[in-house]
Amino acid sequence: MTETHQHPGVPVSIDRIGTIHVGAAHGSAPWAASLVVAGGLLSVDPFAPDQPPHAEIEAAVDEDDLGWVAPVYGWDVAEAVLTARSAAPWTEDPRPRLVATAKWTPGDLHVPTARLAITRWLAAWAPAPYDEVLLDAEIGHLSLICADLSAEGEEAARRTFDGILEPLTGLVKRMLRDDVPVVDTIAAPAVREIFRSASAVLDPAEPEAAPLRQALSRIDERLVGEDGRAQLTRVGIQAPDPHQADTYAVDEWRKATVDLLQVPAQSVREVEHNVLWRVVGSTVEAEVLTGSRAARTGELWARVYEFGTPFPVAIGPLELSASGVWAGRLPLRGNDPREHLTIDVFHPRFRRRPRLGPAAGLARLEREAVRTLTELRLDLLRDRRRHVQLAAGRLQDLVDELVTQGHDDPPAPRLTALAEGIRSRGAPRPGLPDVEHPAWAPTLAEQVHLMPTLLGG
């Protein structure tokens, strides 16, 4: 891949237990999009997927398991990793010891690896209701391209396609109807490649696999000579505020927001103030707005904390109600009057220590960053410069607030660089995200979100 500017290099270091670190760390989700690779973990920065990923490689990794390093980072980094692997662990200092700063010459796997990580990140974090089948189909396709990342790469792709075989076949049949417009030229290459990947890994004996293979030639025929592009229309991701003043008394109901780290993707509507709750006698009543995948979530739980007490004063399940919200009644422990209460919503599989007080401010800024990045990616797809510039301005506002609250590493510098990169629409200086880079290419799900009739509606 041709470099558009001189990158300062990729640091390769080893820590006191022998773990090899490649590149700069991105932090935890949602600031990182991670993939399990042979011998460790690879993390892509969703706010700068064109930049070098960060990898943590186990000390005891076999050299044969490191075949993915050069195709992702280039041979200079691969050689530095082998040097670090043969070095003795650094025991005199808790900080990793720098082995080398290697030249960044991304290989053929860098872009598909970044796109795989970003597509998985969108499936887990994006507030927009993207089509799950299209997301999974692209994840399966990219997993097959990136099969060398781990021993289970091809099997992972096969499992993904097996899980969506029926709806994917339905998509093929819908696209081949005579009364459906031909797929837009923006999406056409992605669609064909996804179908080819599915055909390549699915069991030939699987009855539903045959239509996918038969469809390839027919779709190619229909796409020949296709002119122009369909008009992309603006589709917002922010739902209207559901908390209407005439629905609940202001002095009776309180508002809160679900921490997205504690619930499955799209199990709740991903907007601020998606929780309404109140204390009625010795019971807490709670309602949470549902997301597009709520029906498959099972149930959520809520717990109520009182200022100064380490344990919940109420906890209980929330179930889908007839009115279409998560709802529950949580009995309070004890009979004393309750003041300074706060509520926390979670799914048992995602439960973690609640982020209350100042930590809740960081959680809110994370949600805002995720929403802004999601909108930015759609604006880049629309290619409307004014909206892109506005997105850069929103990111800069987030930076200012993160710095004000003392959260300046790692989110604030990354958002600053992203805002500057957006304004420049390129990477004139090292370290700035290059939004024209192929790693920023839109997913098929994002394209269909902007134009629902793109694949036949």
304 by DSSP, 3-state: which? Answer: strand
Strands of 230-340 (E only): list them.
254-256, 275-280, 283-289, 300-306, 314-320, 325-331
Query: What is the longest distance spanned by two Cα atoms in the chain?
Result: 75
Assess whether 318 and 367 both reside in one domain: no
Q: What is the pLDDT of residue 89?
A: 65
C-alpha distances in Å from residue 287, one per residue of 250, 255, 325, 338: 15, 10, 6, 19
Assess whether 316 and 398 both reside in one domain: no
Assess whether 309 and 403 both reside in one domain: no
Domain for residue 420, yes or no? yes
Q: Which of 31-40, 196-205, 359-368, 424-433 has the highest mean pLDDT?
A: 31-40
pLDDT at 240 over 50: no
- Which amino acid, residue 328? G
Q: Do the Cβ atoms of 437 and 15 come closer than 8 Å?
A: no
- How much of the chain, in percent, has pLDDT values that exceed 90? 33
Q: Do the Cβ atoms of 278 and 252 come closer than 8 Å?
A: yes
Q: Which DSSP string corresponds to 33-49?
A: EEEEETTEEEEE-TT-T
- Which amino acid, residue 304? V
Q: Which residues of 171-206 are buried (b: 16+ CB within 10 A; e: fewer)?
A: bbeebeeeeeebbbebbbebbbbbbebbbebbeeee
User: 154-158: which pairs have CB atoms within 8 A and are 24 or more residues apart?
Assistant: 154/201, 157/197, 157/201, 158/201, 158/202
Could you tell me which of 152, 116, 151, 153 has the C-alpha nearest to residue 137?
A: 116
Where in the sequence is the domain holding 419, given as residue range(s)? 360-425
Q: Which residue, of 356, 389, 411, is where some domain finishes?
A: 356
Phi, psi of 216, deg, nearest 5: -55, -50
Domain for residue 152, yes or no? no
Instruction: Lowest mean pLDDT of 10-14, 85-89, 194-198, 449-453, name the range.
Output: 85-89
Q: Which residue, of 70, 97, 112, is where some domain finishes?
A: 112
Residue 184 or 434, more confident? 434
Mean pLDDT for 138-151 is 91
Assess whether 319 and 378 both reside in one domain: no
Rounded-to-integer distance, Cα 262 and Cα 268, Å: 11
Q: How confident is the model at residue 222 (pLDDT cuts 50, 70, 90)?
A: low
Q: Do the Cβ atoms of 184 and 454 come closer than 8 Å?
A: yes
Q: What is the pLDDT of residue 4?
A: 44
Residue 265 or 215, more confident? 265
CA 432 to chain centre: 20
- Name the domain count of the chain: 3
Q: What is the pLDDT of residue 455?
A: 74
Q: Do the Cβ atoms of 293 and 275 come closer than 8 Å?
A: no
Assess whether 16 and 93 both reside in one domain: yes
Assess whether 293 and 340 both reside in one domain: yes
Q: Which residue, of 86, 112, 138, is where some domain finishes?
A: 112
Rounded-to-integer distance, Cα 177 and Cα 171, Å: 10
Residue 435 or 180, more confident? 435
pLDDT at 39 over 70: yes
Rounded-to-integer distance, Cα 97 and Cα 155, Å: 36
Which strands form 97-102's sheet, in the order they lie side by side?
33-37, 40-44, 54-57, 20-22, 10-14, 97-102
Instruction: Lowest mean pLDDT of 86-95, 139-148, 180-189, name the range.
Output: 180-189
Domain for residue 148, yes or no? no
Q: What is the pLDDT of residue 219?
A: 62
pLDDT at 406 over 80: no
Residue length of the chain: 457
Mean pLDDT for 298-303 is 92
Assess whether 373 and 345 both reside in one domain: no
Q: Residues with Cβ < 8 Å from 24, sequence gap 6 or more? A: 11, 52, 54
Q: What is the pLDDT of residue 237?
A: 46
Assess whether 280 and 322 both reside in one domain: yes
Could you tell me which of 454, 372, 435 has the C-alpha nearest to residue 4?
A: 435
End-to-end, the C-alpha distance of the chain in Å comes to: 36
Crossing angle of the two packed helices 132-145 and 165-175, in degrees rounded to 10: 100
pLDDT at 235 over 50: no
Could you tell me which of 379, 427, 419, 378 has the C-alpha nearest to residue 399?
A: 419
Q: Residues with Cβ < 8 Å from 46, sequence gap 6 or more? A: 30, 31, 32, 33, 117, 118, 121, 125, 373
The domain that holds 266 is classified in CATH as: 2.60.40
pLDDT at 106 over 70: yes
User: 63-67: which pairs have CB atoms within 8 A and are 24 or more residues apart?
Assistant: 65/38, 65/39, 66/38, 66/39, 67/38, 67/148
Q: How confident is the model at residue 181 (pLDDT cuts 50, 70, 90)?
A: low
Q: What is the pLDDT of residue 244?
A: 31
Domain for residue 120, yes or no? no
283 by DSSP, 3-state: which? Answer: strand
Domain for residue 207, yes or no? no
Mean pLDDT for 178-201 is 69
User: Which residue is it, tokens 């401010």?
Assistant: 361
Assess whether 289 and 346 both reside in one domain: yes
Q: What is the pLDDT of residue 215?
A: 67
Assess whether 58 and 33 both reside in one domain: yes
What tokens does 142 get? 């990219």
Domain for residue 92, yes or no? yes
Domain for residue 430, yes or no? no
Q: What is the pLDDT of residue 231?
A: 44
Rounded-to-integer distance, Cα 393 and Cα 418, Å: 10
Assess whether 278 and 308 both reside in one domain: yes
Residue 417 or 183, more confident? 417
Assess whether 415 and 398 both reside in one domain: yes
Q: What is the pTM of this model?
A: 0.83
Domain for residue 107, yes or no? yes
Report pLDDT digits (tens) over 310-363.
Answer: 788 899 999 998 888 999 999 988 766 566 788 999 999 988 888 887 788 888
pLDDT at 87 over 80: no
Mean pLDDT for 382-406 is 80
